[in-house]
């Protein structure tokens, strides 16, 4: 079923999609604004890597705890509380900037608090989706929700670049604070889902990976993929300024290109769903590596935009394929625990890679960092193709 047709037929999913889309646009503004603010203030990719670590490392602790909580209770109240708290937290940055109370430490603390809360919505959405659509529509539903992260990348970075130029980076964050309210309104309409009491054999958070070994292998592949991508986040602003001789608007166009490509790539989810998830994800890693290689050697901004666009097409279906496979493989009564652990593992992977990229930028050029990312993705994809468990990657139930 097409994504538009699916959203028309399932109004509850449609409301969640609209709220998440607005919130995703706000997240894009925050990512652009904070990245550019730190680069202008510190002239260092390491500061960007530190911020990303602050957003993600608390998830390692809170992801599993929140996941187990969601297996026993309705996700709606915690998801609403999470978004309200994060709306207030991100709103503190422009306020403190106006009051001249914005040392880098304050930015990092706010980022850490927001990161600690974020698994509630991410995991809660994965719990709700299988109850909102029939099983045969699961890939399309996850692709639709994936678009809430991809489509904001189409216009969000360019709009954010204009807003940053007009208002300054900190004040641009007010838009993200407002966008959280749309998602809160959508979550408030979500239905109750079946909840059970604690099981006698319920696994502790991290031991659930032993219960679902193929799902664990898929998670490892995703960790490697995201970690290998991470240095791009730190290197790209420097690459744009020093190698492509552009500015925040140029960086915005790059991210818009990958957003357009991702949205187009998601349209192929129905065709790709016929193949084993492991092979598909390994192939995506290979294609992304090839496109990243092209960007590293791009002679101009236009060539870099084209490389990122085709990389986005390759990347687009990844999360929908991975999420659908995990939702079918893991028992519904343990979705919260598994996805909590999954989130705890994956959330720091990209920022850890970004921190590595920031450290590498002290010794090598941004172009060399991007080249290293491309080669790592290519190597990871090749290795994954030869792992039997990932080559099959069929549901274990």
Rounded Cα distance, 8 and 284, in Å? 30
- Is-contact 289 108, C-beta < 8 A? no
Q: Check residue 19 and give its pLDDT.
A: 97
Longest dimension (CA), the chain: 61
Predicted TM-score (pTM) of the model is 0.83
CB count, 10 Å around CB of 99? 8
Render 83-109 in DSSP notation, one character per residue.
HHHHHHHHHHHHHHHHTT---HHHHHH
Place of tokens 């790209």: 236
Alpha-carbon span 22 to 4, nearest angstrom: 17
Residue at token pair 């590293």: 296
CA distances from 55 to 48, 110, 389 (A): 11, 8, 32
Render each residue's pLDDT in the chain as its tens digit; 397 residues: 578 889 999 999 999 999 999 999 999 899 888 888 888 888 776 787 788 788 888 999 999 999 999 998 999 999 999 999 999 999 999 999 888 888 889 999 999 999 999 999 999 999 999 999 998 888 889 999 988 987 886 777 778 888 888 888 889 999 999 999 999 999 999 999 988 755 655 667 788 988 998 899 889 889 988 888 888 877 888 888 888 888 777 877 887 788 788 888 887 777 777 777 788 888 998 999 999 999 889 888 889 999 999 999 998 889 899 999 899 999 998 999 999 999 999 988 887 887 788 888 888 988 899 999 899 989 988 888 887 777 666 544 4
Distance, in Å, from the CA atom of 195 to the CA atom of 74, rounded to the nearest integer, reads 7
Instruction: Give the integer Cα–Cα distance in Å for 240 and 231.
Output: 14
Q: What is the pLDDT of residue 390?
A: 72
Q: Give the pLDDT score at 197.
A: 59
- Give CB contacts under 8 A, 24+ apart, made by 192-198: 192/74, 192/76, 193/74, 193/75, 193/127, 193/128, 193/131, 194/131, 194/332, 195/71, 195/72, 195/73, 195/74, 196/71, 196/72, 196/333, 197/72, 198/72
């Amino acid at each position: 079923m097409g994504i538009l047709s699916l959203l028309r037929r399932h109004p509850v999913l449609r409301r969640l999609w609209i709220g998440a889309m607005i919130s995703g646009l706000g997240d894009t503004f925050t990512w652009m604004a904070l990245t550019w603010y730190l680069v202008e203030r510190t002239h260092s990719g390491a500061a960007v890597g530190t911020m990303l670590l602050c957003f993600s490392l608390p998830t390692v602790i809170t992801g599993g705890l929140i996941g187990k909580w969601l297996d026993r209770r309705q996700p709606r109240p915690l998801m609403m509380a999470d978004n309200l708290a994060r709306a207030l937290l991100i709103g503190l940055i422009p306020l403190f900037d106006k009051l001249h109370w914005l040392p880098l430490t304050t930015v990092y603390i706010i980022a850490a608090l927001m990161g600690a809360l974020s698994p509630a919505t991410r995991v809660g959405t994965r719990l709700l989706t299988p109850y909102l659509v029939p099983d045969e529509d699961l890939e399309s539903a996850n692709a639709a929700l994936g678009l809430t992260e991809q489509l904001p990348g189409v216009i969000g970075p360019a709009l954010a670049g204009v807003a940053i130029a007009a208002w300054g980076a900190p004040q641009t964050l007010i838009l993200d604070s407002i966008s959280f309210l749309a998602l809160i309104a959508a979550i408030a309409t979500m239905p109750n889902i079946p909840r059970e009491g604690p099981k006698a054999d319920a696994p502790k958070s991290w031991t659930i990976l032993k219960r679902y070994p193929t799902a664990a292998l898929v998670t490892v592949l995703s960790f490697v993929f995201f970690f290998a991508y991470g240095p791009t986040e730190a290197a790209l602003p420097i690459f744009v300024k020093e190698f492509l001789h552009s500015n925040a608007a140029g960086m915005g166009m790059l991210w818009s290109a990958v957003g357009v490509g991702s949205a187009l790539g998601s349209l192929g989810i129905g065709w790709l769903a016929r193949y084993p998830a492991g092979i598909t994800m390994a192939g995506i890693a290979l294609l992304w590596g090839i496109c990243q290689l092209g960007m590293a050697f791009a002679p101009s901004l236009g060539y870099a935009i084209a490389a990122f666009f085709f990389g986005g097409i390759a990347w687009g279906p990844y999360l929908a394929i991975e999420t659908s496979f995990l939702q079918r493989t893991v028992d519904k009564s343990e979705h919260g625990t598994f996805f909590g652990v999954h989130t705890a593992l994956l959330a720091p992977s990209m920022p850890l890679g970004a921190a590595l990229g920031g450290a590498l930028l002290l010794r090598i050029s941004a172009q060399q960092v991007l080249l290293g990312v491309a080669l790592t993705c290519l190597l990871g994809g090749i290795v994954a193709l030869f792992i039997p468990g990932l080559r099959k990657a069929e549901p274990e139930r």
